[in-house]
A and B are shown apart, each in its own frame.
Chain A
Amino acid sequence: MKRAIRIGAGEALVLTANRLLDGLIVWRDANGSWQRSIAHAAILSPEEYESALDAATKSAQNDGVVGVYEVVVRPGAIAAPVSVRERIRAFGPTVHPQFATELNA
């Protein structure tokens, strides 16, 4: 059963997962590849994301990722997740600046 998603005005969706080998967070780009930085994430409309999520979930094992799901973002130069949880996932733990995710990665 799909979860109900609340999307506000001007907000969109991106897909995220963890890498199987090392658990690190990844974001799905427009080519269906998984990237370390949310800066490369494909921005999806509510109409687009369901089919993208289905495809990403089906190919997760081949792509070496686990736990694919969608994240609500505010599009911009770099998509900004709406929730604190997803901002921390995207940019790294706030208590260890040295572990911040490299946005150009």
Chain B
Amino acid sequence: MNAPVGLYQYQTADREFLASRIAEFEGQVQRRLSGDLTEDEFKPLRLMNGLYLQLHAYMLRVAIPYGVLDSRQMRKLAHIARRYDRDYGHFTTRQNIQFNWIKLEETPEILRQLADVDMHAIQTSGNCIRNVTCDQFAGAAADELMDPRVHAEILRQWSTLHPEFTFLPRKFKIAISGSPHDRVAARFHDIGILARPGENGPLFRIFVGGGLGRTPLVGHELFDSVPEADLLMTLEAALRVYNAYGRRDNIYKARIKILVQALGIDGYRKAVEHELSLMNPEHYRLDPETVAAIKARFAAPDLTASPDAESRLKADRQNDIAFDRWVRSNTHPHFAPGRIAVTVSIKPAGGIPGDATSDQLDRLADLADQFSFGELRITHLQNVVLAHVAQDRLLKLWQALNAIGLGDANHELIGDIVACPGLDYCALANARSIPIAQKLSARFGDNALQEEIGKLRINISGCINACGHHHVGHIGLLGVDKRGEEFFQITLGGRDDALSRTGDILGAALPEDDMVDAIARIVDRYLSVREKGEQFLDTLTRLGDAPFKEAAYETV
């Protein structure tokens, strides 16, 4: 087997399934075009294949399971953007990619092109278990306890077309990490899983009932230490309780978080335990042989690095201040000596967060081949990770990224803005997210200034559905409609790590025109009152929001 690094190698059965699924959808498209299917009949069918009708055109959301793809898949995405769309794609907060200008009649052909490289658009819409997300440094991070990708793949296989869970009360999002540092926002998912090794095999801490949207809630711990053998049975039981008792009468009350809130976590756990007592453990047991067989379909890279890789990187950093700054902000320690994980910022100053042109996608594929075993990851912060770069080649990679406009040193800084497509594209949005992100990232474009400001994440959502995760932004912006005009509400203090909490509303919404200046005043106030060593959240915790409220509304 010549498996790609970092992702599951499809088998014949996987490919046959995709081919039959595409043939089925092609027939549905033809019946829609001929008028045999009405739009109301067709809509759920196209959504099951990732095809939305958005503000300006059809939008196709392509699944990137647990955010990992290889260079040939990235080149195929570039080809689709170039041939079938308008020369760019948009990486989403669920580690997927969207194309905004797709033609309905060309969709089956696009799906065939995707299937050629073992990709599809299933589980990117509808009330099913959506694409499972994962730690972007999985299998690379020095702080990792165990690689979660094998179990992410098991969850993918378990959830794909699961007959019980295809028509849930509402969509269902799962994230998994194997690090003690939560990089997947586990507590803000319907189910969040933190994996760790145990004496007798992996153990899984499971959170349930988290989520954002119009009712943001931090998830509760359902179980602390589920053994590997019982993982699928436990998830199956948790979903069965939701499927049976989750509300279907009100779309705004239908997510699992509302049910968990209604029952209380103890009540929900009791219901899950009752369901478990009715199940046959042998039927659901995840045995070590199955896990090993799936693990065998992932190729492991040879991470041996040059003995002087670290010293050469040190010398390169001393010779170039800008490179040194980029290494500080955009790399993460690797467990293998001489290797380092790189976050490629898809957030250039003044750019659209998460947008990449066809040429950039192609070039990222080339760089993955040259520097990271042909493997790439998409992050839930809308960036790209090359996980296994040799430290002595890091300078060359950074220079190559600069040549395509993706060398900014701003990861997790104020320029690393997370934004939904907003009213420029989305049929649900109340306000435009992207223009404010562009103006803010241009205003704070200087990488040295961003480093001086320190860790400060801005998240922007164009409506209460919160696709820009504004609730967990250190500064969050929510677009609201007031008599057809755009206003934004500011929240402060959100975070999605182990100390997860939603931000607090600062005050009345401000007009779109005032937003950039208001945020700049908040940042200026922070810089003037912070104490040595403090990050924005530290200062906010120490002083409360009063000084920032005063700054934001200074001119109102």
Contact = CB atoms under 8 A, between A and B. Distances in A.
A99 B352 CA distance: 15
Interface in A23-56: 23-25
A21 to B, nearest CB: 5
Interface in A67-105: 67, 82-85, 88-89, 92-96, 99
A14 interface: no
Given A22-B57, A22-B103, A61 B35 contact: yes
B58 A22 contact: yes
B424 A21 contact: no
A66 interface: yes
Contacts of B484: 82-85
A53 to B, nearest CB: 16
B116 interface: no
Interface string B429-460: 11110110010000000000000000000000
B102 A23 contact: yes
A33 B48 CA distance: 32
Interface residue range, chain A: 20 to 34
B35 A85 contact: no
Contacts of A95: 352, 424, 432, 434-435, 438
B423 A84 contact: yes
B104 A21 contact: yes
B404 interface: no
Contacts of A22: 57-58, 103-105
Contacts of A96: 86, 424
Contacts of A82: 484
Contact of A85 (B38, B423, B434, B435): B423
Q: Point out which of A84, A89, A94 has the most chain B C-beta atoms below 10 A from its C-beta.
A: A84
B105 A88 contact: no
A18 B58 CA distance: 9
B33 interface: yes
Interface in B477-513: 481, 484-486
Nearest to A60: B39
B279 interface: no
Contacts of B425: 93
* Interface-centre pick from B32, B429, B432 (highest chain A CB count, 10 A): B432
A88 B429 CA distance: 12
Given A20-B33, A95-B424, A25 B435 contact: no
Nearest to B57: A23
Contacts of A20: 32-33, 104
A93 B438 contact: no
Q: Which of B32, B432, B481, B484 has the most CB of A within 10 A?
A: B484
A94 B424 CA distance: 6
A55 B167 CA distance: 35
Nearest to B38: A61
Contacts of B438: 95
Given A23-B56, A82-B484, A84-B423, A94 B103 contact: no
Contact of B423 (A25, A88, A99): A88
B53 interface: yes
Contacts of B58: 22-23
Given A95-B438, A99-B86, A21 B105 contact: yes
Contacts of B296: none
B55 interface: yes
A93 B429 CA distance: 13
A84 B485 contact: yes
Contacts of B486: 84
Given A82-B484, A95-B434, A25 B53 contact: no
B54 interface: yes
Contact of A88 (B101, B103, B424): B424
A92 to B, nearest CB: 7
B55 A88 contact: yes
A66 B431 CA distance: 24
B193 to A, nearest CB: 36
A4 to B, nearest CB: 15
Contact of A89 (B38, B55, B103): B55
Contacts of B424: 88, 93-96
B369 to A, nearest CB: 30
Contacts of A84: 423, 431-432, 484-486
Contacts of A66: 39, 53
Interface in B347-400: 352
Nearest to B51: A23
Contact of B56 (A67, A83, A92): A92
Contacts of B56: 23-25, 89, 92-93, 99
Contact of A94 (B54, B57, B429, B432): B432
Residue in A21, A24, A95, A96 whose Cβ sees the most chain B Cβ within 10 Å: A95
Contact of A21 (B103, B432, B485): B103
A95 B423 CA distance: 10
Nearest to A81: B484
A92 B431 CA distance: 14
Given A23-B103, A61-B35, A83-B481, 16 more contacts: A18-B53, A21-B33, A21-B104, A23-B54, A24-B57, A62-B35, A85-B423, A85-B429, A85-B481, A88-B423, A88-B432, A89-B56, A95-B424, A95-B438, A96-B424, A99-B86
Closest 10 CB pairs of A and B: A83-B484, A23-B57, A93-B424, A23-B58, A22-B103, A95-B434, A66-B39, A61-B35, A95-B424, A21-B105
25 contacts: A20-B32, A20-B33, A21-B33, A22-B58, A22-B104, A23-B53, A23-B103, A23-B104, A25-B56, A61-B35, A62-B35, A66-B39, A66-B53, A84-B432, A88-B432, A89-B55, A89-B56, A93-B425, A95-B352, A95-B424, A95-B434, A95-B435, A96-B424, A99-B56, A99-B86
